[in-house]
Amino acid sequence: MPAADSAIIRNPNRLDILRRLQLLDTPTERAFDRLTELASKILQTPIALVSLVDEDRQYFKSQVGLGDPLDSARETPLSHSFCQHVVATNQPLIVDDARNHPLVHDNLAIPDLGVIAYLGMPITIYDGTELGSFCAIDTKPRQWSDWEIEVMQELAASVITEIELRGELMARQEAEARLEAANKALDDRNRKLKRVTSFCRTTITHMHQVLERDASKTEMLQYLQAAQRELEKQV
């Protein structure tokens, strides 16, 4: 089987972004399931997937039509992945009959999963990072029409929007968490400053009293040493 470009699939930056979005190994979400269901119904295909391509597997964030055990496992190794080629090229992959297609003719998804016809659109977010493929799959040969290709492009755009919204929400939450931590640190410093200021006032007042009663040098030094130790505790 011709392998997808591993330098792209295993690019550390791509994988880091994919994992930071917290899409892998997460429960199904209605926002994505609606789109795979729509694709399956509109195109009349038995299978539709939101497939995210990890380092050595493809993970199905949403799926329609996969039988046991894939519907629970929600992943396959890349040996069974057409979607890796969508990621590697960042272009749609349109396959009428996989058994005769030069790129995927010996992919194990054909004998093991019955994948024959495949229509996959890139899931590429705003910064150009390729995450996976939104795809429709048939178990028999079919020629995909221009209209079907257009439908999948539009639905894939909706998948991308959902992912980008997730990324924006996470970035906002992270910023809010950083701001909260900074505010807490500032409050802690302010409380410490108030304690130190109060301590200094008390120390100065007491020193005035010591000087007014003409205390011995030894007493003053002892008091200042004790005050210094207490100040070190405050800061």
- What is the tens place of the pLDDT at every residue in 67-119? 888 989 999 999 999 999 999 999 999 999 999 999 999 999 999 999 999 99
Average of per-residue pLDDT values in the chain: 87
pTM of the model: 0.76
**pLDDT level of residue 6 (50, 70, 90 thresholds):** confident
Q: What percent of the chain has pLDDT over 70?
A: 73
As a whole number of angstroms, the distance between CA 85 and CA 81 comes to 8
pLDDT at 1: 47
For residue 43, what is the enclosing H or E element?
helix 30-43
Region of residue 142 (left: phi > 0; alpha: psi -120 to 50; beta: else)? beta
Whether the Cβ atoms of residue 83 and residue 39 lie closer than 8 Å to each other:
no
Query: pLDDT digits over 9-64, tens only?
Result: 999 999 999 999 999 999 999 999 999 999 999 999 999 999 999 999 999 999 99
Query: pLDDT digits over 151-208, tens only?
Result: 999 999 999 999 999 977 766 666 566 666 666 766 667 676 676 666 666 666 766 6
